[in-house]
Amino acid sequence: MHRALLVSEILVQILINLSKPPGSEIFGWSPSSTRKSLASLALTCTTFHELAMDFLWSNMHGLRPLLGCVTRLHPVIYDPESKYSWSQYYADPLAEHEFHQFLRHSARVRHLIISASNYFRLLTALPIETRVFPNLRSLSWLVQRTEIGDLRFFLPPTLRCCSVSEVPLDMKYIGARCPDMEEFTVHEDSDMAQLSETLRSCKRLRRLQCPPFDSAAWMHLSTIPTLLEVKISTPRTIHYPLDNLNFATFLRLTSLSLCGIEVASAVAIIQHSKFPSLKEFEMHVRVLPWAEAEQLFRALSLCKASQTLESIKISSRNRTQEHTSDSLTAVKQFLCFKELRTLGLSVHYPIYLDDDLLFEAMTTWPHIHSFQLMNWYPSPATLTFRGLFAALRLCPQLQDLQVSIDARNIDIEPEVESFQHTSLNNLIIDSRELETVNVEAVARIIYYMLPAVSQVVCSNGGVPQLWYDVNKHLDMLRNKPYSAPEPCITEAALALS
């Protein structure tokens, strides 16, 4: 054996690559193949044994492999020819002399997924103080209708990450049992009081994703200095009362996502919190009335995160029955965010944007990467090609753009322009009343001045045939030999300037 394999760091890297080799997703490398390879390596020599066994048992899906180590249960679990029909409901619980067989490799388990309670009754004779998984770091608990006592062996002090479908009663004081818990996820709606009590027991959370909780839990979370990300999510819009919400300072919170809660509660959270480090804000609601949208945008513009926010995404799923001729002033209200990289709005109302406002926005947001305004309602476009490219000169890093543009007004000659925006590669145009558009001229503008845009996408409410024709002309231009236009001053250029 080569002496390099005696270096534990090298052997660990080999085992990491063996556990998930490069290209495994493409070539169909299965977990069973990985486990067989690790088992073979563990049997090769004593040098490989311990590390290979650690990797072999590190990730477990269920208790079945550990129960297979019990002499009595091994034949009925793994032998398909066994005359015994394996049934976890009729097998006797583990006897005292079988405990060490079950626990033989459990200390190696780092990540565990429990999706069914079938085998829990086999552990009923284990002493309550037994640490079944003393080194467990991550637990995914997908069991529905958990009984009291089911979780007692699965919450060691070493646990850092816990994901549950709903909050079991056993998890009431998870923060006390797992003091170093960093990530906590609850996927389904749970009893708010029970969830809130669970959250108040956590002291060192870094990431939280769960349904709504009460004001006391919210205030408690604001005092956790390690908290970085919070995502509150519910599948339906609910009344989310936040009574007695005092002013809260989330010192290190960088990401806040609100999905499904009512706008009034979101505004209350923003108005009663400081967020000195917030970089990402995301909100999704089913319906966002015009007045509430304006109120939400204003609350964001006045919050203390105006100097740190880099990403804002706000969307609503359904249109309202409300009719108004007014346009949302979202772009104007977001000009205070000097560090903005991403702005995405899809709120079923026209959003006002013209040449001057886009130019001011791009001047304010020099680092912008994605700027998308979904315009669901037909409205006259006031942004021109000349205004668009004047603004694009100010944002060389822009990659995604979705705006409404007056494509009928061809006010620029791409062959005589020296400017090209080479970063923009995703262009979505919301256009209305485009029966008289010069398709070839639009294609030439995109081809010469936006070389990275391969296809123009038209969002809801556009004219698909128009952009089909534009993209067809784009393909024709790309398939012919390209010669870059030389900058020059012509009569046409002077007339357009």
User: pLDDT grade, residue 239 (50/70/90)?
Assistant: low
Other C-beta atoms lying within 10 Å of the C-beta of residue 247: 10
* Residues 357/331, Cβ–Cβ less than 8 Å: yes
Measured CA to CA, the distance from residue 361 to residue 365 in angstroms comes to 6
Q: Region 308-315: what's the mean pLDDT?
A: 95
Task: Indicate whether 431 pLDDT > 70.
Answer: no
Give me the amino acid identity at 54: D
**Cα-atom radius of gyration of the chain, to the nearest Å?**
30
Distance CA 71, CA 82 (A): 14
Per-residue burial over 338-369, b = 16 or more CB atoms within 10 Å of its CB, e = otherwise? ebbbbbbbbbbbbbbbebebbbebbebbeebb
Task: Evaluate if residue 79 carries a pLDDT over 80.
Answer: no
Highest mean pLDDT among 80-89, 202-211, 281-290, 320-329: 202-211
pLDDT tens-digit readout, 40-63: 776 677 767 778 788 888 889 999
**How far apart (Å, rounded) are the C-alpha atoms in residues 322 and 79?**
66
pLDDT at position 172, please?
84
Reduced to 3 states (helix: H, G, I; strand: E, B; else coil), residue 386 is helix
What is the four-CA torsion angle of 218, 220, 226, 232, rounded to 10 degrees? Answer: -20
Which carries the bigger pLDDT value, residue 481 or residue 117? 117
Residue 234 banded pLDDT, cuts 50, 70, 90: confident
- Angle formed at CA 69 by CA 81 and CA 171, multiple of 5 degrees: 120
Enter the tokens of residue 56. Answer: 């072999």
pTM of structure: 0.83
Q: Alpha carbon 232 to chain centroid distance?
A: 13
pLDDT(118) > 50: yes
Lowest average pLDDT, out of 23-32, 110-119, 434-443, goes to: 23-32
CB neighbour list of residue 106: distance below 8 Å, 6 or more residues apart:
57, 66, 132, 133, 134
Percent of the chain clearing pLDDT 90 (strictly above): 44
Which comes out higher in pLDDT, residue 307 or 206? 206
- With bands split at pLDDT 50, 70 and 90, how would you rate the model's confidence at 185? very high
For residue 15, is pLDDT > 70? Answer: no
What's the average model confidence in pLDDT over 151-169? 92
**pLDDT for the residue 66:** 92
Summary mean pLDDT of the chain = 83
Residues 6+ apart with CB under 8 A from 476: none
What's the confidence (pLDDT) of residue 377? 65
Cα separation of 445 and 217, whole Å?
A: 55
The answer to whether residue 360 scores a pLDDT higher than 50 is: yes
pLDDT one-digit tens code per residue, 243-268: 666 777 888 999 999 998 888 889 98
Contact yes or no for 14/60 (Cβ under 8 A): no
d(CA 472, CA 200): 59
As a whole number, mean pLDDT of residues 119-144 equals: 90
Task: Tell how strand 59-61 and strand 400-404 pair up.
Answer: unpaired
